[in-house]
Amino acid sequence: RHGDGKGGLQPDSDGRSGDGGKGPGASSGEDSDAAKKQAEEDARQKADAAARKQAELDQKRASEKAEAARKAEVARQAEADAARRAREEAERKAAEEEAERKAQEEAARKAEEDAAKKAKQAQQAEEDAAKTAKEAANKKAAEDAAKKAAEDAANQKSAEDAANKRAAEDAANKKAAEDAAKKAAEDAANQKAAEDEAKKKAAEDAARRAQEEAAA
């Protein structure tokens, strides 16, 4: 604290001036002692004031030094926070780029797999179509051969029937020959109807099988 700056004689305990007790009879030795004490008191007060001023300066310097240290710590912390944020941002960006790269690789791999799968399916469909066409051709050839065999058999049967008819006409009387001719004609008509029905059924079966195969 600052001193009161007061010097001079101190009052007595009763509040009166310290020199009030002196009278004409006081000795010069007492005056010298009083002056000496006063000088010592003045010097002490000055020393106290100087010490207080020095303490105040020291305290001020210490406060300034502490404030400077605090500001330096704040600046260091801010710099560290900025570096940490920059590092975290760089790590986040790197993670995002890595995730995007993996996603692109996965998309490319899936697209390649899909393309390969579609190509394989197209090849399989082509092979199935070729197989179906070959089977249909073989079936048609077999049906044609069966039809031709049936026609040949029918022709042969007709020739045999004609020969038998002529032999019967030669061996029997005219009425028997007419009856035989009439019966032969009826048989031929019945046989023709049966053959037509058989051909119709064979054609319907072939058409049904072709539809089933096409549906499959």
DSSP three-state, residue 19: coil
pLDDT in tens, 15-66: 444 444 444 444 567 788 888 999 999 999 999 999 999 999 999 999 999 9
pLDDT score recorded for residue 30: 79
| First-to-final CA distance of the chain | 112
Q: Indicate the pTM of the whole model.
A: 0.29
pLDDT of residue 1: 45
Quick one: pLDDT band at residue 5, thresholds 50, 70, 90? very low
pLDDT at 9: 46
Predicted pLDDT at 172: 60
Contact 165, 181 (CB under 8 A): yes
Interval 143-166 mean pLDDT: 90
- How far apart, in Å, are the Cα atoms of 148 and each of 137, 172, 198, 199? 16, 35, 14, 12
Q: Could you say which DSSP state residue 172 is in?
A: S
Answer whether residue 8 shows pLDDT above 90.
no
